[in-house]
Structure 1
Amino acid sequence: MNYPYESIVTNKEVPIFLLMTSVKYVGMHWHDRIELLLVLKGRVRVFVEREEYLLQENDLLLINMNEVHGVEASEENRILLIQIPILYIKKFHKNIEKERFQCESFNYENQESFNMIRSIMAKLMLTTQAKGEGYEIKVQSLTLDLVYNLISKFKIKNHRHSKLKSKKNIERLTRITTYIQQNYMHPLTLNELAEKEQLTVPYLSRYFQQHMGQSFIKYLTDIRLEHAVQLLSKTDWPVIQIAMECGFSNLNTFHKVFKKTFHTTPYQFQKLSKNAGMCKSKKIGIENYNYREEANYNDLYKYLQRSIYHY
């Protein structure tokens, strides 16, 4: 699955993913990284496990490793996103896999600790873009400083481990979601998946809902929508062809689902995307990522000025 971020990998020593971008849709997924999302402009809706957050400008949210999450937005936005692999942190903090963090700036009046995180994130992005002499050293320093602040200020004590963290569940869900991602264009059914996994349909339905935070039908529809967004943004194909290519049974169904999610029609979305030059592709690292990269970094400086944190 291609996500509209995760595009910049600094180097093997500090393998963080870092990007300032706009996002339309990212289906539910998980990974073994800590993810921080800062909204610079507009609003985005983020789904984490069974929770739903409407993030607005300046809101900061942390997503723990292996937490199932997705993003959608129906208006223009700009976000700063950073992902730090658990294996990298483990070199400095051996028990990181057992830790969980809660960093939700919108739930607190006192923003001092959150301003610290915002400032470090902004500095990381600006340092990476400037690429001055020895910038790799600064990036590592800032990354470790970010991790230190998370451990010292945002760690949850006496938390319960997520069931998704068990190896068996991760392997099963990986098989299931991979199969869906490979066959979304076909009339895929829960019965087919249950037979493949040698499970009953009712059990698989409950299992999927419990671990993915949504039904099988909702997840399958979201995968189809995600691919439809990419085709609408990148091609001049007729809308009906895109609907069929992405597995929707008919144009009316596609139109209804798309409008409910994005508050516009597929045709209008395609037209606006074409005018805005919305999406471009780059090959960075080991995968292709499709995203709209934002080159204006002025929004980041306010976080350096606002924070009490100085470099």
Structure 2
Amino acid sequence: MKLVAHSKMRENIPFGKHVPMRIFRGYDRKKTMIIPHMHEAIEIIYISHGSLQIMDSSNFSILQVGEFHIFNSNDVHSTKFDGVLLKGIILQISFDLIKSLVPDAAYYKFYYSKGSEEQKKAVIQLMKSLLLKSECEKKFDFFKTYGDLMYLLNILFNDFSERISTKSVQSNQKYYKRIFKINSYIEQNYANKITLTTLSKQVHLNPEYLSRFISKNYGMSFYRYLTSVRLNHVQTLITTTDLQILQIAEQTGFANYAQFNKEFKNRFGCLPSRIRQRN
């Protein structure tokens, strides 16, 4: 499912002016990947056509038609699609809003599997209702939107949540800081040569441990993640600038043009010149 083009680990979500949420249709064809990221929001993805591979806190699964998945705030997650057509709805709810309503919200985790079939249908209907309201909004319709959102949060807390311990909350905070530190360094230095050893020195972790940590929590190797970050920037530069493709390859940290073409085709299913022609 395509989100706004980015490669930052902590996604900056443009919430609505009156209601701190964001909802939109997901529509993808062929090969699409959103690299591992996190944000201060609960995100729900509902699939109406096709199937989507998801990674949520190192757990992998396939989201099928008629199902939705709840990504908890600040959990590292990614999605991958490699089919013909994918359709769905993506809803993101500000965690600041949730904490203002439930001060100890950090002690709750949400899981699709906990809800009954009846409550799952209710969540899907509310997502469809919120989407329609966002697409046909009149001046004061945000009051109705807020009502639907409060109803949805009520269902999530009552039927899809599980309370976790103080120890788990503290462990999660340590985990978030480590993830953020790793990705901040990669994001700031992707255009330069980065090795696992140089990164390990920056985050004060043993290289072997760091390698295992990234593989487990990002669902891919250090090299693959670094390449994915670079390719996100490549895609943005190809579609928003007139820079020559060779210049883009040089500015995004690739060792040579052959490697650049190989990795780009592996990710997007075509050469960068094809993307440039389409745009």
Scaled by the length of structure 1, the TM-score of the pair is: 0.74
Deviation at residue 262 of structure 1 after TM alignment: 3.3
- Describe the SS at the equivalent of 1:38: strand
Deviation at residue 170 of structure 1 after TM alignment: 2.3
Deviation at residue 97 of structure 1 after TM alignment: 1.0
Q: How many residues align?
A: 268
Contact map agreement 2:48 2:87 (CA 8 A) in 1: yes
Deviation at residue 41 of structure 1 after TM alignment: 4.0
Matched, 1:59 2:67: yes
Deviation at residue 126 of structure 1 after TM alignment: 1.4
* Aligned residue in 1 for 2:172: 165
Q: Supply the AA of the counterpart residue of 2:159.
A: K
* Aligned residue in 2 for 1:289: none
C-alpha spacing 1:270/1:71, structure 2 compared with 1 (3 Å)? farther
Q: Structure 2 regions of 5+ residues with no counterpart?
A: none
- What is the CA–CA distance in structure 1 between the aligned matches of 2:53 and 2:245, rounded to whole Å? 25
Deviation at residue 173 of structure 1 after TM alignment: 2.4
Over the matched positions of the two proteins, sequence identity in percent amounts to: 25
Contact map agreement 1:255 1:266 (CA 8 A) in 2: yes
C-alpha spacing 1:94/1:198, structure 2 compared with 1 (3 Å)? closer
Deviation at residue 111 of structure 1 after TM alignment: 4.3
Deviation at residue 64 of structure 1 after TM alignment: 1.0
C-alpha spacing 1:46/1:226, structure 2 compared with 1 (3 Å)? farther
Which of 18, 22, 25 is matched with 1:20 structurally? Answer: 25
Deviation at residue 238 of structure 1 after TM alignment: 4.1
Relative contact order: is structure 1 or structure 2 higher (C-alpha 8 Å, sep ≥ 6)? 1
* Aligned residue in 1 for 2:248: 242
- Describe the SS at the equivalent of 2:112: coil
- What is the CA–CA distance in structure 2 between the aligned matches of 1:20 and 1:188, rounded to whole Å? 36
Deviation at residue 33 of structure 1 after TM alignment: 1.4
Q: Supply the AA of the counterpart residue of 2:77.
A: H
- Describe the SS at the equivalent of 2:110: coil
Matched, 1:206 2:236: no
- What is the CA–CA distance in structure 2 between the aligned matches of 1:169 and 1:51, rounded to whole Å? 16
Q: Supply the AA of the counterpart residue of 1:247.
A: G
Higher strand share: 2
* Aligned residue in 2 for 1:138: 144
Deviation at residue 76 of structure 1 after TM alignment: 4.6
Q: Deviations over 1:148-182 (max 9, x none)?
A: 1112221236689377622x332332222111011
* Aligned residue in 1 for 2:221: 215
C-alpha spacing 1:73/1:264, structure 2 compared with 1 (3 Å)? farther
C-alpha spacing 1:204/1:185, structure 2 compared with 1 (3 Å)? same
Q: Deviations over 1:236-292 (max 9, x none)?
A: 544433332222212332333333333333333443x42xxxxxxxxxxxxxxxxxx
- What is the CA–CA distance in structure 2 between the aligned matches of 1:51 and 1:157, rounded to whole Å? 20
Contact map agreement 2:113 2:160 (CA 8 A) in 1: no
- What is the CA–CA distance in structure 2 between the aligned matches of 1:147 and 1:236, rounded to whole Å? 45
Matched, 1:33 2:41: yes
Scaled by the length of structure 2, the TM-score of the pair is: 0.81
Contact map agreement 1:7 1:18 (CA 8 A) in 2: no
Contact map agreement 1:9 1:17 (CA 8 A) in 2: yes
Matches within 5 A, 1:60-209: 60-74=68-82, 75-103=84-112, 111-156=117-162, 161=168, 165-166=172-173, 168-209=174-215
- What is the CA–CA distance in structure 2 between the aligned matches of 1:116 and 1:34, rounded to whole Å? 17
- Describe the SS at the equivalent of 1:186: coil
Q: Deviations over 1:110-157 (max 9, x none)?
A: 843222111111111211222224212111111111111112221236
CA RMSD of aligned residues (A): 3.1
Matched, 1:268 2:274: yes
- Describe the SS at the equivalent of 1:73: strand
- What is the CA–CA distance in structure 2 between the aligned matches of 1:99 and 1:20, rounded to whole Å? 27
Q: Supply the AA of the counterpart residue of 1:80.
A: I
C-alpha spacing 1:246/1:78, structure 2 compared with 1 (3 Å)? farther
C-alpha spacing 1:169/1:51, structure 2 compared with 1 (3 Å)? closer
C-alpha spacing 1:264/1:42, structure 2 compared with 1 (3 Å)? farther
